Amino acid sequence: MIEDLPKEKRAKRKSWTRGNGAVREHGGVWYIRYCRNGKRREERTDAQTKQEALAVLRKRGEQLDAGLFDIDSAKVKVDELYALIKSDYEQQGQHVKDLTKRWNHLSKTFGGNLARTVTPDRISKYINQRLNKEGAARATVQLELACLRRMLRLGFQHSKVARVPYVPCLKIENARQGFFEQEDFERVRVALPDYLRPLVTVAYWTGWRKGELLKMEWRHVNLETGEARLDETMTKNGKGRVVILPQEALEVLKVWREQTRELERATGRIITSLFHRQGAPIKDFYGAWRAACEAAGISGRLFHDLRRSSVRNYVRQGVHERIAMAISGHKTRSIFDRYNIVDPKDLQEAARRVASARNGGEMGKIVVLPERKAEGDAR
């Protein structure tokens, strides 16, 4: 069944309507037809009624006249957009493995589909499916949505899609409260294998990420000056960092350097990795870390909690927050504030300091000033 557009629209959009604009229904699916550059085009729509199909047809005509729609882009599939983002990840040196995990979920819904069929309504249904039916964590779905958004934007930049639909951002309440007090850290460090102790010590005193630390080589530290650095290619935000190691971390690395030299002499090879296991770079130590936390009586702690602890320790000792951010590598203040955790002991210390400054009285205790007391006696 062919339907021409309303007369007022035919008059307004003669360049694309004149006898060519039409809609048809087949098997419960509505299609729009139009001519462009002497060629007949047909598109499948998500319309449920004839009026909705006509609205899609009118909108397509307006886009064509305004140069906002490319005929060839209508045939691009979501899989092609994934190829774009994968190439972008590789060029930026990002982990394609993480991208692949997110695409594995997205492809079940959008893979093989035309990019133009990715609408806000379908995205909303995807979110509902992942959260309510599959039980995925909100943070996980948010990463998948970020991947989809990036794919669509890259497609737009490469003229493969005519528009980027709205992709919502989920509100995530995932600010962890885990951190290490000094005694907790000591118990875990003692329970760890010898080869991991230098790593956790430097992590506790610098707040650097696990991935950053594992990339370090001996050339990145100067044991004479106590300087340690991260190159631009080693950090998450792409900016290099330099820090003067606190005394304990420096002493641990000096001992570790001597042990490494003994291993080099025994094996006849040069060990370049700063943190290693018998000369081989450390890749994963989740099992050893979990066992050490259980032995220390604080199961469930993350290695990343050392980063939070370092940030809090610097601020507690009066280090300016901008300096603490430069050491830990936090790029934005909002993320830094999430790491600068306040615990009950901090609040108790604040109360003690306020009380000590108030005429020697304690917080919450009424102090009668001498002149007031004298007035009371006179009465």
Q: Sorting pLDDT into bands at 50, 70 and 90, what band is 350?
A: low
Q: Sorting pLDDT into bands at 50, 70 and 90, what band is 1?
A: very low
Examine the pLDDT at 92 and tell me if it is beyond 50: yes
What's the confidence (pLDDT) of residue 266? 94
Nearest of 113, 106, 212 to residue 149 by alpha carbon: 106
Percent residues over pLDDT 90 in the chain: 40
Tokens representing 303 are: 């290695």
Comparison of pLDDT for 348 and 273, the residue scoring more: 273
User: Tokens 């092609």, residue?
Assistant: 80
Q: Sorting pLDDT into bands at 50, 70 and 90, what band is 291?
A: very high
pLDDT (tens digit, 9 = 90+) per residue, 326-342? 677 666 655 555 555 55
pLDDT (tens digit, 9 = 90+) per residue, 243-268? 888 899 999 999 999 999 999 999 99
Q: Sorting pLDDT into bands at 50, 70 and 90, what band is 287?
A: very high
Question: Could you tell me the pTM of the whole model?
Answer: 0.55
Examine the pLDDT at 19 and tell me if it is beyond 90: no
Q: Sorting pLDDT into bands at 50, 70 and 90, what band is 372?
A: very low
What's the confidence (pLDDT) of residue 141? 94
